[in-house]
Amino acid sequence: MKNILTCVILVASSLSADAGVSIATWKGNALAAYTLTHDDSYRPDQEIMGNALTERGLVGTFFVNPGKCWDTAEYGWTRPPKEVFTEFAAQGHELGSHTMWHQSVMYDQGLSYAFANEQELRDDCIQTKAILDELNQKSTQSIGYPWGGVSAASQAVVADYFLTGRVSGWGQTNDVSPDNMYTIKTYTCGASSPVPINFGDYDVCTATFSQYVDKTLASGGWGIEQYHDLNTTYKLNPEAYFEHLDVLQNKQATNELWIATEGDVSRYVYSRSAATVENIQSDAEVLKFRVDDFLDDSLFDVPLTIMVEVPQAWTTAEQFLVSKNNETRSAKKVVEDNTVYAVFDSLANAGLITLYPNFVAVGLSGDLNGDGSVSSRDLDLVRANWTVVLPAKLSTGDANGDGYVGSADLDLVRSNWGARSVMSVPEPAAVILLLGGILAAWHMRRR
């Protein structure tokens, strides 16, 4: 994967030229990405933490030691049973490898607590992946290094099995496109931080959490928190912790942060970095293009957020529509620095994407020529443009604004047949009468 990442960055810089199609830095065009990671599976702490995330609609990554957790009775009572992890995965959390027995991956450093050699590390990668794949119901692509470190040699081995490796500490935000996906940095949450922070104290804990979030938002990069237990060895202040989750829930709702698992953010980074845009057609009516990352779709299954700077003539459209594989969806209309974008999610390698404006105002029904009544003149518009596609306009018979003129539009005209819009063009006198009526009604209600 390393090779792919390096060569793609070159391609990415040539992106977004012609038709103004670009890939958002983060999914949903969020300002920054954020990941909550949890090591060593403390019980009951991480059951509480995982459930607290789920309750708030958040997802996290849990770095698990399958050997310690459920393969022996030795640790069984201090680690959650397998069912807990199965449940976590079902709730959208990611289970990452923390090796079977918490050995350091640095087999080449002469450490007593590390794998003895390269083969041991390889065997462990294969074993934990197989176990976790079954629970994740998808390919496990994240490893968190036990004891926090990785060497150049062990990194190269890990890269044969995983897309991303997380170290401990460092107190840094990761770049938008990290140079090295196998030394992903974290913010420590709990008393094990390299620089001692009193996480047990409510005020200190709260201030530190908001610092992490602020630093991430300011950088626009990828912030990762690293947790262990809640209030035993690592001494977090639980009240501050739960309030922090509330803050994150809010940042997710306002789309400031894209909060996702380490595996999904990594997949997005790879896919975004590899993505190329091919413009097929670009005119006043329609934009046609492809977005491809040429990566393995079974592994890279996180949709990209695509932003299209729309032509000037489209900026007054009510919304934009995206057609792909015979399916039409609406795109979000986003205005940034006076530029209008159509924003939508799409997997890479999804074939031809067609984007067009929808000028049809929401709430109109069947009055295609805007003369205030639904009549044969509207029916004529539907018939004249029958099966014509794009762009969505009332004046070309597209009554429901889906970009196609067909039986759905005919139905809409028919079902409103004979309807008249009494308010279509109010005369000044009528407005005064109407106002008078409203005032009278209001006056009466107040009595």
Residue ranges binding Zn ion (CB under 5 A): 39-40, 146
Q: DSSP 3-state assignment of 283?
A: coil
- Residue closest to 358 by CA, chosen among 326, 399, 386: 399
In whole angstroms, the minimum distance from the beta carbon of 95 to Zn ion comes to 14
In whole angstroms, the minimum distance from the beta carbon of 393 to Zn ion comes to 60
Distance in angstroms (rounded) separating the CA atoms of residues 277 and 106: 40
Per DSSP, 386 falls in state T
Which uninterrupted H or E stretch holds 288? strand 287-292
In whole angstroms, the minimum distance from the beta carbon of 272 to Zn ion comes to 30
In whole angstroms, the minimum distance from the beta carbon of 215 to Zn ion comes to 24
* Sign of the alpha-carbon dihedral angle for 241, 245, 250, 256: positive
Distance in angstroms (rounded) separating the CA atoms of residues 46 and 362: 47
Tokens 């109109």 map to which residue? 364
In whole angstroms, the minimum distance from the beta carbon of 250 to Zn ion comes to 30
Per DSSP, 40 falls in state T
CB 95 within 8 A of CB 89: yes
In whole angstroms, the minimum distance from the beta carbon of 156 to Zn ion comes to 22
In whole angstroms, the minimum distance from the beta carbon of 201 to Zn ion comes to 24
CA distances from 305 to 239, 291, 341 (A): 35, 11, 12
In whole angstroms, the minimum distance from the beta carbon of 225 to Zn ion comes to 15
Instruction: Select 39 or 124, whichever has its Cβ closest to Zn ion.
Output: 39
Instruction: Select 39 or 293, whichever has its Cβ closest to Zn ion.
Output: 39
Instruction: Select 229 or 409, whichever has its Cβ closest to Zn ion.
Output: 229
Instruction: Select 40 or 124, whichever has its Cβ closest to Zn ion.
Output: 40
Instruction: Select 40 or 367, whichever has its Cβ closest to Zn ion.
Output: 40
Instruction: Select 143 or 295, whichever has its Cβ closest to Zn ion.
Output: 143
- Residue closest to 182 by CA, chosen among 71, 301, 269, 241: 269
Tokens of 128: 């934990």
Cβ-based neighbour number of residue 211 at 10 Å: 13
In whole angstroms, the minimum distance from the beta carbon of 87 to Zn ion comes to 21
Instruction: Select 229 or 367, whichever has its Cβ closest to Zn ion.
Output: 229
Instruction: Select 146 or 391, whichever has its Cβ closest to Zn ion.
Output: 146
Residue nearest to Zn ion (CB): 39
Per DSSP, 354 falls in state E
Instruction: Select 190 or 391, whichever has its Cβ closest to Zn ion.
Output: 190
Question: First vs last Cα of the chain: how many Å apart?
Answer: 75
Distance in angstroms (rounded) separating the CA atoms of residues 132 and 128: 6
Cis peptide before 391 (omega within 30 of 0): yes
In whole angstroms, the minimum distance from the beta carbon of 99 to Zn ion comes to 9
Mind giving me the DSSP string for 416-429?
A: TTT-B-TTSS--HH
Distance in angstroms (rounded) separating the CA atoms of residues 440 and 423: 19
For helices 118-136 and 82-90, give the axis angle rounded to 10 degrees.
60
Distance in angstroms (rounded) separating the CA atoms of residues 383 and 398: 10
Instruction: Select 46 or 208, whichever has its Cβ closest to Zn ion.
Output: 46
